[in-house]
Structure 1
Amino acid sequence: MGLRGCSLHSACPQIRTRSAAAPLWVSRTQSPHTPNRRRANLARLCSSQRDTNNKSAVKASAATASPSRVKSPDQDSFILSTVSEIDKDDSNALADRISHQSGPAASSTTSDDSSGSQFWQELLSSPEPEMFGHRAKSASDAAVLRRKGHLKEQDKMIEFLLAMHHTHTSEEAMQKMERWIMEHRQEPRHSRLRKMVPSIGSFFTPLKLVEAFSEFDQFFALSRRKYVPPNFAEIRHILNIAQVHSSAAGLKLITFDADGTLYADGAHMEHDSKMIGHIINLMRSNVHVAIVTAAGYPGQADKFEQRVAGLTATFRKLRLPQHIMDRQASRKRDIYSSRRCQHTARNQFADATFHIMGGECNYLLRLSPTTKQLEFVPDHEWKTPCMQAWREEDIKYVLKEAEKLLLDTAYRLRLPVKHIIRKERAVGLIPGAPTIYEVLEELAITVQQQLVDAPLPFCAFNGGGDVFVDVGNKSLGLEALMQYLKFTPSQGLHVGDRFTESGNDSATRDCCSILWVANPEETDFLVSMLLKDIRASRAQPYIE
């Protein structure tokens, strides 16, 4: 689906042919049926391109050569450097096995295959498709192989709404879906929506889709289109708008994914991030804020703080009152202040505070009200009895089996492996060469489907540039957090960018309402809308 219309001929303009016409690289005076001449021209084209790239590669490798990473002469062999915190002997044994593996496909590779492998590797690693000529800049040519396709756009309910547009107008589709959601909330097991979309989950708030559609339609003219129906992203935007309006009045807890939601993948929350102001305004509006991330650093609160350094620095700079940063202190203050006055300016901060949930559900950190630095919350204070009952031998078994599946699948896909990262509650695979999104998707879903006898819940997810398997998932983390803070699912809202089958945000659908964003810019827009709705719904008077 993501590689629509992409064949060998469409991916490389130099070897594209026209029907009843000569190939693009052949003069119109030449015969199109001269295979020897075509092969010679193509060989010269690829040879000159390889020579240029090989010279650049030699210079680059000479400057960055490292004794810990040596490239095998076989293009299909694995490059493996294992970083392990536990079970180092097992990881080293796996590394030795992979480094000496050579299956039938690898042993039968000819010199032509090696050249072809390098040709496609250049396609994946080239930042711009200029090596294929000006025609390659269209989506139907080489660049299509590097894009993420439609695998990040998977949702049964949205797909059902899109299918309804074959027989309904957009407004009719939204009217019916809004009515079906109301019925589903009353009788989820036997609702019509359950029959039409069997995998549908729970709706913790009503959704006014007709109003949200009307709001979106004012700017994007969906109802005035004749030939172009809404796409996946537009339906997702309408659902997000409806959810923001529905959640604003009773919102008590909002949680954010980190990478791809609060900031770009692999980045950090810097001092100039727009989300810093939004988070502080949410806390001032009596909304508890938490970041739920896959990143896990056991016993290293400073590493968690590095990811949100701009936010914590702002907390310290603004010297926010203790009743904003500390939930227990705010409750004690509320008891005292309520005896004196039931309506004070401080009451709006009663339950506001900040937490970070790391490792999906394995570590909880809070902001110290005195030092304004992150500190770990003891496990017995917040973990559910089920999570506290996890045995260490079961954790090691899950990680060992997951690592084996990742390596075996990478070998099957001929994907070079740069690192296997082994942590206390997670294992991850870092590719040793650029690859496409679909390959990482295959890795994640393979673990999901084949690690069926795991004694503990786990989360295998495609991170966009890597694949990780964590013990537990965000659903367990959110459930424990809401129980710890004494919030109900209807009072919660999770914002994330990975709600597909291989995404680690999808599990949160079982705990609370969600907002599905594609990038930090969408998060900024939706949180701005949410803050506006919160102020309007609570209509708090300004008190000096």
Structure 2
Amino acid sequence: MASNALNRYCQIMQDIEELVNDHILQSRNEQGSISKLKLLVPSVGLFFTPLPLQDAFRYQDAQRRISSRRFVAPSFNDIRLVLNTAQVMSLVRNSRLELVTFDGDVTLYDDGEVLKPEDPCIERIITMMRIGTRIGLVTAAGYTEAKEYHRRFAGLLDAIAASDHSHKLEHKLVVMGGESNFMFTYTPTAPYKLEQVPDADWRLPEMETWTHENVNALLDVAEQALRDCIKTLAIPVSVLRKSHAVGIYPEKGTRLSREILEETVLNVRQLISASLAGQRIPFCAFNGGNDVFVDIGDKSYGVMACQRYFGGIEAAKTLHVGDQFLSAGANDFKARLACCTAWIASPKETVQLLDEVVELGGHTP
């Protein structure tokens, strides 16, 4: 029974593989042909690489025993992990994985925590750096000083320094703060092991319109929209305004409901989009789990800035790992425009994904 089920699942995965390959081919066709997948799923986005879904299903089936289950059909999480594995397989089989970028909260560490020396993802990230993969930490946290980023990522930064006495890993890791607004590079001799990167080394041409006046105009609209939501929905929060972001957050120990957070995000996004300020420069309004923030730019720009800093790495050679892909308001969602992505649900899954990268790439930890 399990063998028959596995064969049937693999046939389905092969059919979807062919749909993805056709979609990639039609996307490159200058005549504007519409793929079969686009007709079936009009909202489908870009695929930067083929996806070996049949092989990926066999790999995950060995871990999760999907085909051996009699009463529980393949779940959303089963399919999500199969897609992650397929993306990793496609990248590592052709030695195409040159850059991996990570979200912070819920991806590298639990929500509201920091990277600690004992966190298992640290040794995996260092292993990837040693085999030549560049690393980007693309976080919504928008600080202008290295000290605050070191506080969040100290476990990783200190571990790299302790294991790399010859400084071979120097400048192989960057921190992109505020989604896409502040870049620091790993420099073991610098204070807090991070050195700010000059804007000219990473800023994209599209960012030239992000002037001080335009940024402030957008944040003014966003702040007023947030204050209107606070009044209308009676939300017990404070407002925090930064140079490139504005948001609301509750007192420590207070939890806001998902419905209130999502209502605020959708309201604020609509009001900003309808304004002149929201049409001048891109922005990201998102639910951070227990707060709502509006940032200038988004993670697609953050990933592309990392690609530029490391010499122009292609989208098909970049993987972004994050937990927020559920809707257009989730702040990892936009990274799909800039590179391949992997959707994880916890730091434990990130560790499992990195183990897959090393294993499937034939590397020794």
Taking structure 1 as the reference length, what is the TM-score of the superposition? 0.60
The aligned length equals 343
Match of 1:383 in 2: 203
Instruction: Spell out, residue by residue over 1:75-104, the C-alpha distance to the aligned partner (whole angstroms, 9 max, x if none).
Output: xxxxxxxxxxxxxxxxxxxxxxxxxxxxxx
Corresponding residue of 2:295: 470
The verdict on how the C-alpha distance between 1:219 and 1:535 changes in structure 2, with shifts beyond 3 A counting, is: closer
The counterpart of 1:430, out of the listed 235, 249, 256, is 249
What code does the residue aligned with 1:488 have? E
Match of 2:326 in 1: 500
SS at match of 1:322: coil
Aligned to 2:359: 532
Q: State the distance in 2 between where 1:408 and 1:219 align.
A: 49
SS in 2 for 1:479: helix
Shift of 1:389: 3.2
Q: Paired residue for 2:270?
A: 449
Could you report, residue by residue, the CA deviation over 1:418-445 in whole angstroms, capped at 9, with x for unpaired residues? x101100000111354222222112112
The answer as to whether partners of 1:169 and 1:223 remain within 8 angstroms in 2 is no
Q: What amino acid sits opposite 2:229 in the alignment?
A: T
* Aligned counterpart, 2:72: 228
Displacement, 1:174?
Answer: 1.6
Higher deviation after alignment, 220-229 or 421-430: 220-229
Whether 1:185 aligns to 2:24 is yes
State the AA in 2 paired with 1:314. Answer: A
Find the aligned partners of 2:265 and 2:335 in 1 and give their Cα distance.
18
Measured in 2, the distance between the counterparts of 1:382 and 1:262 equals 24
Paired position in structure 2 for 1:173: 12
SS in structure 1 of the partner of residue 249 of structure 2: strand
Other-structure match for 2:283: 458
Match of 1:282 among 118, 128, 145: 128
CA positional deviation for 1:245: 1.2
**Percent of residue pairs identical:** 38
Deviations 1:485-514 (A, max 9, x none): 221111100000001222100000011111
Counterpart contact for 2:202–2:306, Cα < 8 Å: yes
Superposed, 1:369-408 pairs within 5 Å as 369-371=188-190, 373-408=193-228
- How far off is 1:304 after superposition? 0.8
Secondary structure of 2:331's aligned partner: coil
Name the residue aligned to 1:521.
Answer: 348
Give every structure 1 segment of 4 or more consecutive aligned residues whose post-TM-superposition deviation is greater than 4 Å. Answer: none
In structure 2, the residue corresponding to 1:308 is in which secondary structure? Answer: helix
Tell me how far apart the structure 2 counterparts of residues 388 and 355 of structure 1 sit (CA, whole Å): 22
Deviation at 1:459, TM superposition (A): 0.3
- 1:136: which partner in 2? none
Tell me the equivalent position of 1:123. none
Please give the alpha-carbon distance, in whole angstroms, between the structure 1 residues aligned to 2:65 and 2:117.
Answer: 37
The range that moved more, 515-524 or 196-205, is 196-205
Counterpart of 1:321 in structure 2 is 166
Report how far residue 272 of structure 1 moved.
0.8
Partner SS for 2:320 = strand
Choose the corresponding residue for 1:244, options 70, 88, 104: 88
> Shift of residue 226 of structure 1?
4.4
1:243, distance to aligned residue in structure 2 (A) = 1.1
Distance in 2 between the 1:471 and 1:199 partners? 25
Corresponding position of 1:79: none
> How big is each residue's C-alpha offset from its partner over 1:442-497, in whole Å with a ceiling of 9 and x where there is no partner?
21122222211312100001100101000111111211221222211111000000
1:262 matches 2:88: no
Q: Matches of 1:483 and 1:271 in 2, distance apart? A: 30
1:360–1:474: 8 Å Cα contact kept in structure 2?
yes
After TM superposition, the structure 1 stretch with the greater mean CA deviation from structure 2, 196-205 or 314-323, is 314-323
User: Secondary structure at 1:459's aligned position in 2?
Assistant: strand
Greater Rg by CA: 1
Q: Equivalent residue for 1:218?
A: 62
Specify which structure has the bigger relative contact order, considering alpha-carbon pairs within 8 angstroms and separated by 6 or more residues: 2
Conserved in 1, the CA contact under 8 Å of 2:174 and 2:306? no
Are 2:188 and 2:194, in contact at CA under 8 Å, matched by a contact in 1? no
Which amino acid is the alignment partner of residue 310 of structure 1? G
Q: Take 1:425 and 1:186, find their aligned partners in 2: how far apart are those partners?
A: 39
* Mapped partners of 2:105, 2:354: distance in 1: 16
Of 136, 144, 153, the match for 1:308: 153
CA contact (8 A) 1:194 1:200 kept: yes
**Quick check: 1:365–1:375 contact (8 Å CA) kept in 2?**
yes
Amino acid in structure 2 at the alignment position of 1:531: V
Q: Which residue of 1 aligns with 2:304?
A: 479
What is the 5 A alignment of 1:88-127? none
Spell out, residue by residue over 1:219-277, the C-alpha distance to the aligned partner (whole angstroms, 9 max, x if none).
Answer: 43333444432221111011011111111221100001111100011111111111111
- In structure 2, the gaps of 5 or more residues are 1-6
Distance in 2 between the 1:219 and 1:278 partners? 20
- Aligned-partner Cα distance in 2 for 1:288–1:434: 37
CA contact 1:294–1:358 (8 Å) conserved in 2:
yes
Tell me which amino acid in the other structure corresponds to 2:247.
Answer: G
Q: Per the alignment, do residues 533 and 281 of structure 1 end up closer, same or farther by CA in structure 2, a change over 3 Å counting?
A: same
